[in-house]
Structure 1
Amino acid sequence: MSTTQSERLRELLEPLVRSQGLDLEEIAVDSVGRKRVLRVVVDSDTGADLDAVADVSRVLSAELDESDVMGQGEYTLEVGTPGAERALTEHRHYVRATHRLVKFQLTEGDEIVARILAVDEDGLDLEVPGVKGRKPTARRLAFADIAKARVQVEFNRKADGDDGNDGNDKNMKEEEEA
């Protein structure tokens, strides 16, 4: 049987999050003054929109109200999705970051920024952007060689087909043309 509050929370909440078609990415309980805040981060391969987050929030809130896992004190439940510059720590995170620009800290100490082209069980196929007009180069990176990886925010990336967005760029372009 689990002993820590975090383990008990994960045991209670993970099946509920999965029942909503999402993955439980993170649980954190923080003290803010006299109040506690339970932060739950969820995601899925297709992302989690506002409606999905609201639905899972209601389900989790109801279950937490019925259990004693948070104890008797007041707390606030916050349910959200990973940030734009999320750390990649699980295989599924790399798959979800396909076509995204990622900053890699390698175990040997080097740092590279590259776009993930493909992910398999052993590692990643990357496109390293060219510098000063040079063409991008392909590179293979094994998971064992990655110390840290974090998605990078791109504000001015040109659309080039499947770039991992949700299609809103296309819709905005169609609205502008109308």
Structure 2
Amino acid sequence: MSTTQSERLRELLEPLVASQGLDLEEITVDSVGRRRVLSVVVDSDTGADLDRIADVSRVLSAKLDETDAMGEGEYTLEVGTPGAERALTEHRHYVRATGRLVRFQLGAGGELVARILTVDDDGLDVEVPGVKGRKATARRLAFGDVDKARVQVEFNRKDGSADHSDSNEKEEEA
């Protein structure tokens, strides 16, 4: 997908996604045989349930049908959430991941798995789980020290809650 098409799609779709109370996280166009698939990833601070995904999908589909943004050929529109193991690339992603276990790739080398406790403009406070009976330790990470960060799926958290918050729901329309 050309940068021009990506920018054009973002300019067209972002206000519509925002009008539904969601953030536009990602847009991709892939070819599958003769058809094209337009994937739109949305999210919000409160998450996006299936009803919200369906609503934004209808709005985007109607707008795309009235424009030539996707050209004349057939395409499939898929609207979904980032999924359970989302990459954290924006400040708002870290805020939304507060309380979650995250795998950090650090700029100085090495890897750290820790739970995000708080996030501010300069970085985040994390809790590194204890190993072999040791107590958890607190640590401060500056955003500049983090090369990559990805939320980890937890099925058996100590507090008893299971990680079912993101199920990567999709609503398809053409």
Runs of at least 5 residues in structure 1 that lack an aligned partner in the other structure: 167-178
1:18 aligns with 2:13: no
The answer to whether the 8 A contact 2:116-2:127 is kept is yes
Higher RCO, 1 vs 2 (CA within 8 Å, ≥6 residues apart): 2
* Map 1:66-77 → 2, pairs under 5 A: 66-77=66-77
Q: Deviations over 1:14-72 (max 9, x none)?
A: 00000000000000000001100000000000000000000000000000000001000
Q: Are the structure 2 counterparts of residues 99 and 164 from structure 1 closer, same or farther at C-alpha, using a change threshold of 3 Å?
A: farther
C-alpha distance in structure 2 between counterparts of 1:158 and 1:138, whole Å: 17
Give the match for residue 36 of structure 1. Answer: 36
What is the letter of the counterpart of residue 111 of structure 1?
A: E
The residue number in structure 2 matching 1:138 is 138
Counterpart amino acid of 2:38? Answer: L
- CA separation in 1, counterparts of 2:94 and 2:149? 9
Aligned equivalents of 2:74 and 2:109: distance in 1?
Answer: 44
User: Is the alpha carbon distance of 1:117 and 1:3 closer, same or farther for their aligned partners in structure 2, counting shifts above 3 Å?
Assistant: closer
Provide the residue aligned with 2:98 in structure 1. Answer: 98
The structure whose Rg is larger is 1
Q: Please give the root-mean-square deviation of Cα atoms over the aligned residues, in Å.
A: 1.8
TM-score, normalised on structure 1? 0.88
Shift of 1:3: 6.2
The structure 1 segments of at least 4 consecutive aligned residues displaced by more than 4 Å after TM superposition are 163-166
SS in 2 for 1:4: helix
Q: Which amino acid aligns with 2:138?
A: A
Cα displacement string for residues 93-147 of structure 1 (whole angstroms, at most 9, x for unaligned residues): 0000000000000011110000000000000000000010000000000000000
For residues 104 and 157 of structure 2, the distance between their equivalents in structure 1, rounded to whole angstroms, comes to 19
Percent sequence identity over matched residues?
82
Contact 1:99 1:164 in 2 (8 A): no
Tell me, in whole angstroms, the C-alpha distance in 2 between the residues paired with 1:139 and 1:97: 16
CA contact (8 A) 2:153 2:163 kept: no
Instruction: Indicate if the aligned counterparts of 1:21 and 1:44 stay in contact, CA closer than 8 A.
Output: yes
Displacement of 1:159 after TM fit? 2.2
1:125 has 2:125 as partner: yes
Aligned twin of 1:169:
none
For residues 79-94 of structure 1, what are the structure 2 equivalents within 5 Å?
A: 79-94=79-94
5+ residue gaps, structure 2 = 166-174
The 5 A counterparts of 1:1-12 are 4-12=4-12
Q: Is residue 154–residue 163 contact of structure 2 (8 Å, CA) maintained in 1?
A: no
Task: Quote the Cα distance in structure 2 between the aligned partners of 1:131 and 1:138.
Answer: 14
